[in-house]
Amino acid sequence: MSESNPNHQTFVVKVDYAPMSYEQLRRRFSGHVHDGYAHVNMRTYHTAKDIALDERETVFEYLCCGTHANADDAHDLINQSGCRPARFEELIGFVWAYPAEAVKHPIVALGSYAFMGDDDIYVPCVRVDPERGLGLGLWYVGFPRTFPPDLRLLVVRT
C-alpha cells in the first residue's frame, strides 16, 4: 500500500451539499448514471459525518492504495494521511470542477456508501466508459473485492 500523490497536488472546489435527485444526477452526468441512484440512500461513513454542510471551498487530494488493497486498507491509508474520505456530494462537486481528472483514472469517495441487494456495500465512483462517456457509478467494496491500481481515493484535507 502506498500513497500515489508524492507531490501532494491539491484541488480547491466550492462544494454544494444540497441533495441531488436522480434526474439532476442524470443531467450532470450525461454519459450514464447507475440505476441504483434512483432508489438508494447514501449513508455517511463515520469519519466524514461531523462536518458543516454549508456551501464552501474544500481542498481535495488523491491517494492510491496500490495493488491488492481492499476498502479496509484504503480507510487505513486515509487515516494515516491525516485526511478524511470525501463524501458523495464532494465527489460530485470535484468532478464538476475537474472533469478531466475523471478521464485520467476512476475516482471513488469512501466517505459515503449505500447498501444494495443482500446488504452488499457500494461507494460512489466516477469513471469514463469508452462507449458512454463520463459516468457516475457505484463500486462494490465487499470482501474479497480489491481496488485496481489506477483507482484514486478522493480525500479532503482537514
Q: Where are the domains of the chain?
A: 11-157
C-alpha cell at 5: 500523490
pLDDT of 72-115, one tens digit each? 889 999 999 999 999 999 999 999 999 889 888 899 999 999 99
Q: Could you report the average pLDDT of every consecutive run of 10 residues in the chain (158 residues)?
A: 56 93 91 91 87 90 84 90 95 94 92 89 91 90 81 93
First to last CA, the chain: 22
The confidence score (pLDDT) of residue 8 equals 67
- Are 94 and 155 spatial neighbours (Cβ–Cβ below 8 Å)? no
The region that residue 105 occupies, defined by phi over 0 for left and psi between -120 and 50 for alpha, beta otherwise, is beta
The confidence score (pLDDT) of residue 147 equals 85
Interatomic CA distance for residues 29 and 34, integer angstroms: 10
The region that residue 68 occupies, defined by phi over 0 for left and psi between -120 and 50 for alpha, beta otherwise, is left
Q: What is the DSSP letter of 68?
A: S
Q: Residue 123's closest CA among 134, 107, 135, 112?
A: 112
**What would the DSSP string read from start to end of 1-15?**
---S-TT---EEEEE
Alpha-carbon torsion (73, 112, 131, 104), positive or negative: negative
The confidence score (pLDDT) of residue 7 equals 52
**What are residue 59's DSSP bridge partners?**
12
